[in-house]
Structure formats: structure tokens, C-alpha cells
Amino acid sequence: MSQVIITSIDIYRFSIPMEPFTIATGTMDHAQNVFIRIHTGKGFYGVGECSAFPMIVGETQDTCLAMAKDFAKLWIGKDALDIPARMQQLHDAAAGNTTIKSAFDIALYDIASKNAGLPLYKFLGGERRMVESDITIGIYTPEAMAKKAIDFKTSGAHILKVKLGKGAETDVERIKQIREAVGGQMKIRVDANQGWSFDDAVFALQAIGQYDIEFCEQPMRTWYDDRLPELMKLSPVKIMADESVYNHHDARMQINSGSCDYINIKMAKSGGILEAKKIHDTAAEKGIPCMMGGMLESRIALSAKLHFVYASPNIKFYDMDTCMLGHLVDPCIGGVTYNGYKLNISDAPGIGADADDEFLSKCELVTIK
């Protein structure tokens, strides 16, 4: 097989201003993203993007930029098509750092599918299907959240994802008011973002069970994972593992211990598509459906995620609304389009998305050769 040699890598500080967004672990007023272009000897490049969410994954934009420079140096002169070998280089160099690793991984898949002349989903053996995202309500007062829910319903949303985890009793009131506001037809799923203790989780889940909740993501801190099997037995609401599953080994342990009904896959946790597929396949073997989630990525990384969804039949839930959560600038050209809350993408080779050069001209840039 012919090689595609990496010649240089551009690393951009890719900050996207946004309306303040609050979850149980904190508030963010801009997306702390990094964008990379991996240039090749074939005259084309691959693009990747990641979104640092320090309260969840422990990486900041600055740590991502620092590690990106070290990682890029490892890849100059190497074959971009040998994705497992390239990613193993990064794992050998540094444990963790999954967020910035995901940007490098996505760029490799962009190169490989462009080299094959295929859209990424076809390169991965997938096919198109209807993908409709939920839309997320951040944590505010119960009244404000109920009003936001009505606004989303009016805009055509069918699925609400409600952030909880700041006071179990108030969380129950939040769900009560939202369900009363939108009626019985809308799907409601909740995400506690590790915000509850075990006792709070039992109380809240038993109390909101009457409101027809699709599932609850990550009710407790990961250090209480050993109590998840007990919580599963006490909860009328199905449990989705998020921060408890970074890789396919985590997925295996969560599933085998009876700790979750579903798993949320995020590129920022898995380190990209290569490991995300292993999580997906591990869950599929055990009959555990997955969700495609994310941090605060632009439509660049979102495009890669949609391609991955098309190639991943065990992904049954779609939390792919990050660009709709108050990004004040769209730095992407091409890529995913929204029709209401349904996602589509063209059949352009690769992920079919790139950064807008005008936006990039204002971003801090480091090039590794």
C-alpha cells in the first residue's frame, strides 16, 4: 500500500465566543477549541478539531496546545494512513490527553478517506440514516428552564436534554415544571454531570421517574462507580454512563458489572474515532445502545461525528447540538447542516468540513515541520 507522508502540522488556538452555558460542574463563555491541519506529501491536508472541557476531562485549551506541539513532532515524516500506529505513538508518549488526541485522530481519518476519494462514512463502511439531535437546557431556575423548554418546543425540537446536578430537590422541581410546560409528547432525557451523591441520586431518580424520563446520564462522580449496580436496581430511570467510560476497557467493566443501560461516546473522552469504534463494538456485542455526544465543538468536529454515526448502527441516541448552544461565530465552511434538529452532510471526500480562513487569520498559529 502506498504511503501518505506527513510533512507539517498547523496548530491553531480556535476560541469560539458563546453565550454563557452552565452545567453542574461550571460555566463556560467560550469554546476552548484547538484546530489542526495535517499536511501531506500528496498535496492535500486533513483537518481535526477538539473542544477542551476542563471541568470534565481535565484538559484546557493551553494544555491541548502544549501537547499538540509535542505530538506533532512525533509524526513528521510518518505515514498518515497507518492510523493505529500513529495513535499508538501518542499513547506511548503520554497517557490521557484524550481531547487533543481526538483532533489528531480525526485529521488522520480525514486524510485516509480523502486519499480513498470517499466521504468518511463510506470509508468506514457506513450508510446514511436519519439523525435528529436533542437540544440541551442548561441549569437555571425551574421557571427559566421551563420557559426555555417551551421555546425549544416552539422551534420544532422533539427531544430535550436537561442539565441537572445542582440540588436534588430543585432538580426534581426543574423536571416537574419542564414536563408540565411541554406536555407528554416530547422526549426528556437528563444529565446530572456527576452532580449527585448516591442518596441524592436515589431520591432524584425515584422522584422524576413519574415524568417519563428517557434516561439519566452520569448521576454520580466516577469514584462512586462501585455503587452504580445498586443505583440501577433502585432507579426507575435508565442510567447512561458518560464520564465513567473513556475507552472500551471502561465500557467492558461498566457493562459486565451491571452499571449502565447505555453509554455516551464522546471524541474528547475516547481520543477520537479509532477508540470510539472499539467502545461502540464492545457495547454492541453486549446489547448496550450508545449515544453520540460532545463538548463544545464547531461543525468541523461535528461533521466527523456525523460520519461516525452513519458507520455505527449501535448509536441510537444523538446529542449533537453543541453548535446550537450559543456559539456566536461559525468558523466552519462546508460540513454538517441542520434542517431543524435533523443533521445532514454532503458526500464530499473526507469529513467534508474545514475552517474558514478569515477566522483562522485571527487565531494564534504554530506550525511544526
Which residues neighbour 223 within 8 Å (Cβ) at sequence distance 6 or greater?
none
Instruction: Check the CA dihedral 37-40-46-48 and report its sign.
Output: negative
Phi, psi of 133 (to 5 degrees): -80, 155
Task: Let me know if 163 is a catalytic residue.
Answer: yes
C-alpha dihedral sign at 240, 243, 245, 247: positive
266 is catalytic: yes
Could you report how far apart the first and last alpha carbons of the chain are, in Å? 25
DSSP state of 154: H
Active-site option among 191, 319, 321, 354: 191
CA atoms within 13 A on the CB side of 13: 13
Cβ contacts of 236 within 8 Å, gap of 6 or more: 205, 206, 209
CB 15 within 8 A of CB 61: yes
Q: What cell does 219 get? A: 448521576
Contacts of 260 (CB under 8 A, 6+ apart): 228, 232, 239, 240, 241, 244, 245, 254, 288
- Judge residue 126's burial from the number of C-beta atoms within 10 Å of its C-beta, 0-12 exposed, 13-18 middle, 19 or more buried: middle
Is 217 marked active-site? yes
Instruction: Please tell me which residue in 122, 163, 166, 305 is annotated as part of the active site.
Output: 163
DSSP, collapsed to helix, strand or coil, labels residue 52 as strand
Residue type, 155: S
Q: What is the DSSP string of 145-200?
A: HHHHHHHHHHTT--EEEEE--S-HHHHHHHHHHHHHHH-SSSEEEEE-TT-B-HHH
Are 105 and 274 contacting, i.e. CB atoms less than 8 angstroms apart? yes
Catalytic residue status for 191: yes
Joined together, the cell numbers standing for residue 347 give: 458526500
Catalytic residue among 105, 225, 242, 321: 242
Q: In which element (H, E) is residue 254 found?
A: helix 248-256
Annotated catalytic residue within 122, 166, 266, 305: 266
Catalytic residues, which ones? 163, 191, 217, 242, 266
